[in-house]
Amino acid sequence: MARTASCACGGLRVTCAAEPVLVVQCHCLACQRRTGSPYGVAALFRREDVQAEGPGRSHERPSDSGPSVLFHFCPRCGSNVFWEPRRRPDVVAVAVGAFADPGFPAPTQAIHAQHRHPWVGDLG
């Protein structure tokens, strides 16, 4: 089943040709700043199952755990659509919200829980 994620204006799109290998809820401070939310939700797909289309810009920064992450966003609307975690070169992470699909699989793992806002519940 192919799924397509896109930025707010539709200019930058990512088509994923398979189901995600993992869906994770991240509470790190960098994801909070990146999303403007108390956590980010990422779907990790095998690199070979991901195809990006449209204009994009990128920004690389260190992760909370050390290795850098290369983020790809739309130069027109600024939406962050997907990223490449350098410590996992075999996967591409896609922002679950960019799929705009309420039926998308829920996260099964939470990371950086030490930064979780107290009013955000545990998974499960």
13-16 sheet: strands from edge to edge: 3-6, 13-16, 50-53
The percentage of the chain sitting over the pLDDT mark of 70, rounded to a whole number, equals 98
Instruction: Report the pLDDT value the prediction gives residue 15, as an integer from 0 to 100.
Output: 98
The mean predicted confidence, pLDDT, of the chain is 93
Token match 């955000």: residue? 120
Query: Are the C-beta atoms of residues 94 and 16 closer than 8 Å to each other?
Result: yes
pTM here is 0.91
How many CA atoms are closer than 13 Å to the CA of 68, on its beta-carbon side?
6
Q: What is the pLDDT of residues 82-117, one digit of tens each?
A: 999 998 999 999 999 999 999 999 999 998 889 989
